[in-house]
């Protein structure tokens, strides 16, 4: 049985979800943003909530997230996505509201907004893409940059003396009483992406149960910023980032 025959006779096992637009993503080859966008789109399709979902896109590479998912979007100023999501959810409690933010956006510029939205227990899902650097602006050091990691603004490696410790925002947010679900995942392999989808689904469900904020961190790569090939970046992430940011569910109430 050759390939053409399998395609003609076989069952369609996997195709691009209709929630993703046909527009080509502007992300670099191998960027985790694409995989996470797809995971979100597939969860939205599986739950049948395309008409009821509002996403808040951040500032950073994923600022154009609204171009790639066929749902309603708002674009927030630097780091202010949780504030905008708060307003959106309070005005339209029947909608599924989520924010999509990178580490520069949520852990640095928007740290206050993120922590206070979580502390208030807003019924939103916050998705935090952590690649350890500011990807869009050229790979500068972020609060989540690992100790000793070389970036554009720490060419000899980050040091604790000069730059302080790596910020673990997810761990910081987990003890807050307003937060009902905190998990950390990755999207480097198909298995990891499937786990991420389950976490996102749980987050969306929680946002309708008035349980509080759900927070899902995705450990990602920025192969252009890290100056590696996409596959090497994934391996580097597994070796260096997973020990500092261990994967798993941190809080589930």
Partner 1 sequence: MAKVKGAVVVDIEKCKGCGICIDDCPTDTLAFERAVNGKGYHYAYMKAPELCIGCSNCAISCPDTVITVYRVKPERKKTS
What stretches of 48-121 show up as alpha helix (H) in DSSP? Answer: 81-91, 103, 111-120
Nearer to partner 1, 187 or 216 (CB): 187
If one asks whether residue 239 binds partner 1 (CB under 8 A), the answer comes out as no
Residue 237 pairs with which residues in a beta bridge?
A: none
159 is a contact residue toward partner 1 (CB under 8 A): no
| DSSP code, position 28 | P
Q: First vs last Cα of the chain: how many Å apart?
A: 51
113-148 per-residue burial string, b: 16 or more CB within 10 A, e: under 16? bbbebbeebbbbbbbbbbbbbbbbeebbbbbbbbee
Residue partners of 250: CB distance under 8 A and separation at least 6: 170, 171, 174, 182, 183, 184
Lay out the site mask for partner 1 across 38-77 (x = CB under 8 A, - = otherwise): x---------------------------------------
Q: ∠ at Cα 114 (108, 119), nearest 5°?
A: 140
Q: Any residues with CB less than 8 A from the CB of 161 and at least 6 apart, and which?
A: none
227 in contact with partner 1 (CB under 8 A): no
3 binds partner 1 (CB under 8 A): yes
CB 97 within 8 A of CB 54: yes
CB of 253 to partner 1, least distance (A): 29
Q: Of the ranges 2-10, 90-98, 109-117, 208-216, which one interacts with partner 1 (CB under 8 A)?
A: 2-10
Stretch that binds partner 1, among 50-58, 110-118, 174-182, 187-195 (CB under 8 A): 187-195
Nearest distance in Å: CB 99, partner 1: 21
Nearer to partner 1, 118 or 187 (CB): 187
Question: Closest distance between partner 1 and the C-beta of residue 183, in Å?
Answer: 19
Between the alpha carbon of residue 80 and those of residues 22, 87, 116, 199, the distances in Å are: 28, 11, 11, 23
The answer to the question of residue 230 lying near partner 1 (CB under 8 A) is: yes
Q: Which of residues 6-45 bind partner 1 (CB under 8 A)?
A: 6-7, 9-17, 20, 24-25, 27-35, 38
Contacting residue, 46, 147, 164, 189, with partner 1 by CB under 8 A = 189
Among 46, 147, 209, 229, binds partner 1 (CB under 8 A): 229
The least distance separating partner 1 from the CB of residue 172, rounded to whole angstroms, comes to 29
Say if residues 119 and 178 touch (Cβ distance below 8 Å). yes
Which residues are near partner 1 by CB under 8 A? 1-3, 6-7, 9-17, 20, 24-25, 27-35, 38, 187-191, 193-194, 223, 229-231, 234
């Amino acid at each position: 049985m050759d390939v053409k025959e399998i395609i003609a006779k076989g069952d369609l096992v996997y195709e691009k979800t209709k929630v993703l637009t046909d527009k080509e993503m502007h992300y670099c080859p191998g960027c985790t943003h694409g995989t996470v966008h797809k995971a979100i789109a597939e969860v939205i399709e599986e739950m049948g909530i395309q008409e009821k979902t509002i996403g808040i896109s951040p500032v950073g590479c994923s600022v154009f997230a609204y171009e790639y998912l066929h749902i309603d979007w708002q674009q927030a100023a630097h780091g202010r996505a949780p504030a905008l999501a708060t307003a959106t959810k309070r005005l339209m409690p029947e909608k599924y509201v989520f924010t999509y933010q990178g580490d520069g956006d949520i852990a640095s510029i928007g740290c206050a907004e993120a922590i206070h939205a979580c502390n208030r227990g807003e019924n939103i899902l916050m998705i935090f893409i952590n690649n350890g650097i500011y990807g869009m602006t050229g790979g500068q050091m972020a609060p989540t940059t690992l100790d000793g990691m070389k970036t554009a603004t720490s060419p000899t490696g980050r040091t604790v003396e000069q730059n302080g410790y790596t910020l673990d925002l997810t761990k910081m947010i987990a003890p807050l009483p307003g937060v009902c679900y905190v998990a950390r995942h990755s999207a480097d392999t198909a298995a990891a992406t499937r786990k991420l989808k389950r976490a996102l689904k749980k987050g969306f469900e929680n946002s309708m149960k008035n349980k509080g904020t759900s927070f899902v961190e995705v450990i990602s790569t920025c192969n252009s910023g890290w100056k590696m090939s996409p596959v090497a970046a994934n391996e580097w992430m597994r070796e260096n980032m997973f020990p500092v940011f261990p994967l798993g569910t941190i809080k589930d109430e």
